[in-house]
Amino acid sequence: MSNSNVLKHIESIDTCGFQGTNFSHLRIPGNVKIIGWDAFKGCRNLTSVEIDERVTHIGVGAFCNNYVLEKIILPSSLEEVGNGFLACCYEIRNVIMKAVIPPADKSEYNNSYFSEKSLTTVHLYVPTQSIELYRNHPIWGKVEKILPIN
Domain containing 63: what range? 1-150
DSSP 82-127: -TTTBTT-TT--EEEE--SSPPB--SS--S-SB-TTHHHH-EEEE-
Cα of 31 vs its chain's centroid, Å = 17
At residue 43, the 3 state secondary structure works out as coil
Confidence of residue 109 (pLDDT cuts 50, 70, 90): low
Q: How many domains does the chain have?
A: 1
Q: Are 142 and 122 in contact (CB under 8 A)?
A: no
Q: Which residues contact 133 (CB under 8 A, 6 or more apart)?
A: 100, 101, 102, 126
Query: What CATH number corresponds to the domain at position 77?
Result: 3.80.10.10
* pTM summary value: 0.93
**pLDDT over 90 at 117, yes or no:** no
